[in-house]
Amino acid sequence: MIYQHTLIVFNPAAQGGKSHLALTPYLTILKQEGFAYSLYQTNGNDDTEKIQKLMDEHPFDLISIVGGDGTINITLQALPHFDTPLHIIPAGTGNDLVKMLYANQSLQRILQIPFNNQQEFSSIDVWTCNQKRFINGFGAGFDGAIAQKTQLKKILFSSQAKYWIEIIKHIFIYRSFQAKINGENKQVFMLSAANGKVYGGGFKVAPNANISDGKLEIILCKRVSLFKRMYFLPLVKLGRHLHKSAIEYQQLEEITIASDCPIPAQLDGEPLIEKNFHIRKTGQVKVIV
């Protein structure tokens, strides 16, 4: 298939500013193949609205995303519909969704995907939480607090280093919260509603997940001691935690979370704080693979 006009959403700050190492060869290929494209660089200021305006002005038939999971999320919020296929080029720190889509394929192979004569598509469920979309995972509690603090931290470390600093710190300081989960009172250290198997920079939070089955993997970790927090961390990294007594695991098509106090949360790594969350499926997006 020959695409007439490609929109490239590029995050120049992704991977510590090294994302241009993925963009530059992709632009070279586009020019060599004679493909028309428009380039939008994110800057953290009304990106979703600006991307929406570009889509209103031009009939793009492919959207290439050059960045990490946060850049995918920004683009996802801007889509007026889910008919236009996505092409995701890994240029972030975690690239959790890309790992599930492309396994161990090389960057060069991924860059060439739109130019293959025989293309395949993977359909991925898209979910909404309080009117905001996500595609890979929602987390409330422990990982939500980490996402918030990591975004605020301005120290001169890589994104991955900042993330691990907050993980270690919050193992000691984070306090569990009480909430109603689908109407049932729970004490919660962390609650994940995962569409993909992996998020948070390689943590196998939901090892049984299927990104196109219309269900979320709900993993609720109850209030746990400091010792168990340290014990669980490597288990979650390896995806070996679901059978533990502190974990409640189920697959659901919809979930509500209600609390008297604001709960830190994250959507595909993007932080938010609310008292109430309502999560449900909103459609499917196509990704060329």
pLDDT tens digits for 85-112? 999 999 987 788 888 888 888 999 999 9
Is the separation of the CB atoms in 190 and 143 below 8 Å?
Answer: yes
Task: Tell whether 109 is covered by a domain.
Answer: yes
HSE at residue 85, side-chain half, CA atoms within 13 A, is 18
Single out the residue in 86, 119, 152 at which a domain terminates. 119
**Structural domain tally of the chain?**
2
Q: Give pLDDT, residue 29.
A: 96
Q: Give pLDDT, residue 82.
A: 95
Closest to 151 measured CA to CA, from 231, 76, 234, 68: 68
Query: Do 56 and 181 belong together in one domain?
Result: no
Query: Do 85 and 163 belong together in one domain?
Result: no
Paired residues of 256 in beta bridges: 278
- The pTM of the whole model exceeds 0.75: yes
Query: Do 146 and 90 belong together in one domain?
Result: no
How many other C-beta atoms are found inside a 10 Å radius of the C-beta of residue 166? 21
How many other C-beta atoms are found inside a 10 Å radius of the C-beta of residue 46? 10
Query: Do 101 and 182 belong together in one domain?
Result: no
Q: Give pLDDT, residue 201.
A: 75
Its domain, for residue 23, covers 6-119
Asked if the model's pLDDT at residue 116 lies above 70, the reply is: yes
pLDDT tens per residue, range 26-72: 999 999 999 999 999 999 889 999 999 999 999 999 999 999 888 99
Residues in CB range of 160: below 8 A, 6 or more apart = 93, 94, 201
Query: Do 41 and 160 belong together in one domain?
Result: no
Query: pLDDT tier at 159 (50, 70, 90 boundaries)?
Result: low
Residues in CB range of 221: below 8 A, 6 or more apart = 141, 142, 188, 189, 190, 191, 232, 246, 247
How many other C-beta atoms are found inside a 10 Å radius of the C-beta of residue 152? 10
Query: Do 99 and 202 belong together in one domain?
Result: no
CATH number of the CATH domain containing 204: 2.60.200.40
Task: Tell whether 288 is covered by a domain.
Answer: no
